[in-house]
């Protein structure tokens, strides 16, 4: 079993799809599926453009948002897992085939932002609005986005060293997204776990801010956010 796991995370000759470090969610739940799929795509000599994969990843994320809206959390959770796996393909496939581009990066980013917003709205409607707690749910979602903006403005390096050589940080937007859109719906604990995940996001922001050696460059951070 250990040899099989090691084989997944060991790049073979002419493979350049793994980053030097990654977050734990894609390492544990994404790569074990996406890497074998990439090797299968190689064997089949597929000519699929990475941007096509990016566009295809938008379908399961919209499906997840729809099922969250309809209060079918379990189905929505597995739709999100499908998105999470497919979303890990496009960048690796682009590096593997030498077709990385700024357009591909922006397409991946904006589709992810729109998809996340759609899923938040779906969860807000079924878990908070229908229960009469629409203001609480809206406040939690607003807090999430405020912290995201604050991280972009005040934090120059959003990652930090960990005790695991391949893991670049313990908590990132990927981990929060995975917890919010897969773990919480899977176990039907959205109203319990979602605010806790936003709290962890805030704590992570504070830790990164305190550990920064340099003063935050607010103007530079705002310009960086406006460019994305």
Residue 182 has pLDDT above 90, yes or no: yes
Domain ranges of the chain: 20-227
pTM: 0.91
Q: What is the largest CA-CA distance in the chain?
A: 56
pLDDT of residue 17: 67
Class of domain 20-227: mainly alpha
The radius of gyration of the chain from alpha carbons, rounded to an integer in Å, stands at 18
Asked if 49 contacts 104 with a C-beta cutoff of 8 angstroms, the reply is no
35-81 pLDDT per residue, tens: 889 889 988 988 899 999 999 999 999 999 999 999 999 999 999 99
Q: Which of 204, 215, 225, 96 is nearest to 153 (CA)?
A: 225
pLDDT at 118: 97
Residue 58 confidence (pLDDT): 94
Q: Which residue has the higher pLDDT, 17 or 23?
A: 23
State residue 174's pLDDT score: 84
| 100 has a pLDDT exceeding 80 | yes
Predicted local distance difference test score (pLDDT) of residue 28: 87
Instruction: Decide which of 117 and 97 is more confident.
Output: 117
Under 8 Å CB-to-CB from 126, ≥6 apart: which residues? 68, 69, 70, 71, 73
Q: Token pair 């729109």 is at which residue?
A: 114
Q: Provide mean pLDDT across the span 193-203.
A: 95
Residue 164 clears pLDDT 90, i.e. is over it: no
């Amino acid at each position: 079993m250990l040899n099989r796991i090691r084989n997944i995370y060991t790049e073979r000759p002419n493979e350049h799809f793994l980053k030097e470090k990654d977050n734990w969610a894609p390492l544990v739940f994404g790569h074990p599926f996406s890497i074998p799929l990439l090797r299968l795509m190689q064997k089949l000599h597929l000519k699929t453009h990475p941007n096509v994969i990016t566009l295809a990843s938008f379908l399961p994320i919209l499906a997840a948002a729809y099922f969250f809206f309809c209060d079918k959390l379990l189905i929505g959770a597995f739709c999100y897992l499908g998105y999470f796996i497919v979303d890990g393909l496009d960048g690796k496939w682009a590096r593997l085939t030498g077709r990385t581009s700024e357009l591909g990066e922006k397409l991946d980013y904006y589709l992810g932002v729109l998809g996340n917003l759609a899923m938040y709205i779906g969860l807000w409607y079924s878990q908070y609005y229908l229960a009469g707690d629409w203001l609480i749910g809206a406040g939690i979602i607003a807090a999430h986005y405020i912290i995201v903006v604050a991280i972009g403005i005040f934090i120059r390096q959003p990652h930090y060293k960990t005790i695991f050589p391949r893991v670049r940080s313990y908590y990132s937007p990927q981990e929060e997204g995975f917890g919010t859109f897969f773990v919480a719906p899977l176990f039907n604990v959205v109203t319990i776990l979602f605010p806790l995940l936003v709290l962890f996001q805030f704590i992570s922001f504070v830790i990164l801010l305190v550990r920064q050696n340099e003063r935050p460059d607010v103007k530079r951070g705002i310009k960086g956010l406006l460019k994305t």
